């Protein structure tokens, strides 16, 4: 058990060191810190997945944004890590749920880090069926798809492809 604790401690120390190096250094170091944590969910310009995220915006104006990188967290710990890096480096960033905004930089950013919640699609209906936990990467079609077969409904967006997170904050 000591070896696992030692490896975990070493891994955490390396992540902290990586964060320390990013203090007010710029986008390249922010990206390095994010990639060091989760390289498989940090998308860089010029890659197919990066382009796919930008093409997923509802408006052409949003799709024209050029973030320095796109970070796709899988869970709350990934989000907390990214926010820590961005806060310490005072980086500009945006958060994208469904990307249904109307204008540039509404849920996009140029020259900053885009946090895309696409993979955070957790849905959980409470045992008593009175409430539902909804991850920010869901779109209303996912929520309604879970509830409707059970004879339930939620008060939410009328357009199925709108993101839950953005809708609840007026697209911001």
Same domain, 89 and 161: no
Lowest-confidence pick of 25-29, 88-92, 152-156 = 25-29
Flag whether pLDDT at 42 surpasses 50.
yes
C-alpha gyration radius of the chain = 18
Mean pLDDT (whole number) for 153-164: 88
Same domain, 142 and 107: no
The total number of structural domains in the chain stands at 2
Task: Please give the model's pTM, rounded to 2 decimal places.
Answer: 0.77
Same domain, 114 and 138: no
Range of the domain at 64: 2-119
Tokens of 83: 């926010």
Same domain, 138 and 106: no
3-class DSSP state for residue 113?
strand
Query: Using CA atoms, how far apart are residues 164 and 141, in angstroms rounded to an integer?
Result: 9
Which one of 119, 134, 154 terminates a domain?
119
> Which conformational region is residue 70 in: left (phi greater than 0), alpha (psi within -120 to 50 degrees), or beta?
beta
Same domain, 107 and 145: no
CB-count burial class (<10 Å; 0-12, 13-18, 19+) for 53: buried
The sign of the dihedral angle between the CA atoms of 163, 164, 166, 171 is: positive
pLDDT of residue 160: 87
Same domain, 45 and 68: yes
Mind listing the pLDDT tens digit for each residue in 90-124?
A: 888 999 998 888 888 888 998 889 999 999 999 99
Same domain, 106 and 22: yes
pLDDT of residue 38: 61
Same domain, 109 and 36: yes
CATH assignment at residue 21: 3.30.43.10
Same domain, 99 and 144: no
Same domain, 97 and 139: no
Flag whether pLDDT at 30 surpasses 80.
no
Same domain, 141 and 163: yes
Q: Other CB atoms closer than 10 Å to residue 16's CB: what's the count?
A: 11
Strands 132-134 and 123-125: antiparallel
Question: Where is pLDDT greater, at 40 or 132?
Answer: 132
pLDDT of residue 8: 40
Same domain, 107 and 43: yes
Query: Using CA atoms, how far apart are residues 93 and 166, in angstroms rounded to an integer?
Result: 15
């Amino acid at each position: 058990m000591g070896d696992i604790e030692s490896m975990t401690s070493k891994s955490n120390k390396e992540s902290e060191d990586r964060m320390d190096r990013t203090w007010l250094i710029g986008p390249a170091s922010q990206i390095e810190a994010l990639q060091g944590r989760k390289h498989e969910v940090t998308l860089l310009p010029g890659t197919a997945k990066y382009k796919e995220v930008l093409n997923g915006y509802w408006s052409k104006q949003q799709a024209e944004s050029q973030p320095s990188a796109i970070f796709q967290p899988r869970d709350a710990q990934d989000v907390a890590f990214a926010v820590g890096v961005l806060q310490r480096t005072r980086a500009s960033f945006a958060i994208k749920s469904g990307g249904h905004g109307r204008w540039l930089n509404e849920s996009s950013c140029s020259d900053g880090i885009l946090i895309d919640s696409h993979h955070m699609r957790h849905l959980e209906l409470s045992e008593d069926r009175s409430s539902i936990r909804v991850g920010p990467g869901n779109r209303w079609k996912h929520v309604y798809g879970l509830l409707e077969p059970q004879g339930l409904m939620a008060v939410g967006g009328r357009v199925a492809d709108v993101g839950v997170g953005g809708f609840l904050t007026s697209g911001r």
